[in-house]
Amino acid sequence: MKLPAVLLALFTMSASLSAAPLDPIPLWPNGVPGEADLKLPAESIELKGDYQIQILSNVSLPTLTVFPAEKPNGAAVIVCPGGGYNILAYSHEGTEVCEWLNSLGITAGLLKYRVPRREGLEKHAAPLQDAQRGIGLMRSRAADWRVDPKRVGILGFSAGGHLATMALTSDGTRTYQADPEVDGVSAVPDFGVLVYAAYLLDEMNPDVLSPEVKVTEQTPPAFLVIAHDDKKFVEGNARFYIEMLRKNRPCELHIFAKGGHGFGFKNTKEEIVQWPSLAGKWLEAEGFLKGQ
């Protein structure tokens, strides 16, 4: 399928400002927490849809792949693809996003977190361990990757947006045995970008946030974008914004008329396609893109 000229130009621009990604780093070199006896099918990858989206399944060995910017400004972002906590939409919610972040001077870390959901655990339990370890890894090796450890954010789509929200609103407590070399730093990101984040409302009372999402006076700044016709999740994003407003926390919310769910970085012809530009302007306005 031939890409529209605008998309092709954006992808070309992003790629030109990106260095080659580094080799994936295993998050748990001494064994994945709680999974010594877990048996899963082999990890697999397939291409789906008109845009040939890369879909990863059966991830049991999570990794962080660092995409260094050619001209880093010190900011870093952990990128969490979506997929309902069952698969990972690895390209249009992952690699393409990392290349765009590089175009802003941001060092990106693509998180390949555990899927599918682990039986007997909350849907986000294992992925949150992976996200916290990824944040710790980015901060603990900040000097190696020319990163300011006080400007490490997180960005997620759909279920990955929920995962990013969980990291953003947590108190940083880890549910695994900490490694002082990696986990001796905070696991709470400095900011979050939530793109059509899923599962934010309480299933029993959809007028309030899910009990697991705890917005406080310390919750870091957040940028949210979603479509009005994303009927399943739009109210949750609006409710999150309201709670951020009530706690006097920095937050920006964009609700576009059309766009649906799952368009990723740029895979839509609707007006919501401009979300990366809006997010970049927000990051700059909040001071996260300042040079070192």
- pLDDT at position 230 over 90: yes
Task: Quote the pLDDT of residue 9.
Answer: 44
Task: Quote the pLDDT of residue 8.
Answer: 43
Task: Quote the pLDDT of residue 15.
Answer: 45
- Containing 159, the helix (H) or strand (E) segment is helix 159-169
Q: Is 25 helix (H, G, I), strand (E, B) or coil?
A: strand
Does residue 84 come out as left (phi exceeding 0), alpha (psi in the -120 to 50 range) or beta?
A: left
pLDDT tens-digit map of 29-57: 999 999 988 888 999 999 987 778 899 99
pLDDT tens-digit map of 73-85: 999 999 999 999 9
Instruction: Work out the angle at residue 224's Cα, subtended by the Cα atoms of residues 126 and 103, and round it to the nearest 5 degrees.
Output: 90
Task: Quote the pLDDT of residue 17.
Answer: 55
Q: Classify domain 5-30+41-285 by CATH architecture.
A: 3-Layer(aba) Sandwich (3.40)
Residue 4: pLDDT band with limits 50, 70, 90 = very low
Strand-pair category, 222-227 with 107-112: unpaired
pLDDT tens-digit map of 252-268: 999 999 999 999 999 99
Say if residues 58 and 115 touch (Cβ distance below 8 Å). Answer: yes
Mean pLDDT in the chain? 93
Tokens 């802003």 found at:
104
- pLDDT at position 16 over 80: no
- Cα dihedral 16→18→24→26 (10° resolution): -160
pLDDT tens-digit map of 280-292: 999 999 999 986 4
- pLDDT at position 7 over 70: no
Residue 18: pLDDT band with limits 50, 70, 90 = low
- Percent of residues, the chain, with pLDDT higher than 70: 93
Q: Which residue has the higher pLDDT, 10 or 250?
A: 250
- pLDDT at position 12 over 80: no
